[in-house]
């Protein structure tokens, strides 16, 4: 079994690097629009940090994949470290900025569990991919696709909450 053909994945890595950079910018705009509302609930700060951090992870993974001539062992280590560092950052931030009654938009138990599960997929699947690359397992790079989809889902969903849903619900409250 040979090493994966990283060049066959070139367009994937270019795309996720571009998407990561672009969505980070859009998230900052959404956060700016809702900043006053977001500061009222620590859970919103947690979601914002997670969304931004996951897009940064997407960018970093894309850049690792574009490094020319690196051995698969090294790329595997980079993915393992990246996934674990981003998971640790997200968990530490979540511990310090917990969901509260002021972060009610999609703040019930079900949506929180979905967000947590997707965060674990987004950060731990690159770790699995990295381990499989180190051990030269076929199909290792395919573990990155669900991770990137989880990153996108969380980021786009949170961008919607920040830019549209929080201001809409605040406007409804003030109209009552």
Is 174 within the bounds of a domain? no
Average pLDDT value for the chain: 89
- Structural domain includes residue 176: no
Q: Which two tokens stand for residue 56?
A: 């940064």
Mean pLDDT of 9-22: 94
Residues spanned by the domain of 149: 6-169
Q: What pLDDT band is residue 145 in, cutting at 50, 70 and 90?
A: very high
Is 85 a domain residue? yes
18 within a domain of the structure (yes/no): yes
1 inside domain: no
Task: Give which of 87, 74, 90, 95 is closest to 158, Cα–Cα.
Answer: 90
Q: In sequence order, what are the residues at sequence separation of 6 or more whose Cβ sits closer than 8 angstroms to the Cβ of residue 67?
A: 75
72 lies in a domain? yes
Classify residue 135: in a domain, yes or no: yes
- CA atoms lying within 13 Å on the CB side of residue 128: 16
- Residues 10 and 126: their CA atoms lie apart, in Å, by 17
Q: How does pLDDT run across 78-137, given as a tens digit for each residue?
A: 999 999 999 999 999 989 988 877 777 777 888 889 999 999 999 999 999 999 999 999
**pLDDT number for residue 3:** 64
Report pLDDT for 87: 98
Q: Is residue 114 part of a domain?
A: yes
pTM as predicted: 0.90
**pLDDT value at residue 137:** 94
Q: What is the pLDDT of residue 149?
A: 97
- Mean of the pLDDT values across residues 31-36? 80
Q: Which helix (H) or strand (E) holds 114?
A: helix 109-134
Number of folded domains that form the chain: 1
Q: According to the model, what pLDDT value does residue 142 have?
A: 97
């Amino acid at each position: 079994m040979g090493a994966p053909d990283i060049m066959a994945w070139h367009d994937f890595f270019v795309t996720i690097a571009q998407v990561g950079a672009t969505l980070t910018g859009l998230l900052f705009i959404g956060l700016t629009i809702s900043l006053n509302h977001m500061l009222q609930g620590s859970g919103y700060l947690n979601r914002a940090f997670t969304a931004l951090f996951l897009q940064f992870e997407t960018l970093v993974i894309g850049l690792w994949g574009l490094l020319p001539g690196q051995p698969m062992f090294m790329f595997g280590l980079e993915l393992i470290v990246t996934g674990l560092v981003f998971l640790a950052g997200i968990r530490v931030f979540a511990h310090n900025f917990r969901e509260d009654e002021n972060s009610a938009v999609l703040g019930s138990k079900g949506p929180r569990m979905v967000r947590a599960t997707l965060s674990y997929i987004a950060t731990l699947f690159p770790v699995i991919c990295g381990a499989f690359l180190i051990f030269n397992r076929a199909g290792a790079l395919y573990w990155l696709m669900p991770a990137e989809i989880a990153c996108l889902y969380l980021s786009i969903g949170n961008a919607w909450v920040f830019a549209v849903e929080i201001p809409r619900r605040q406007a409804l409250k003030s109209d009552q």
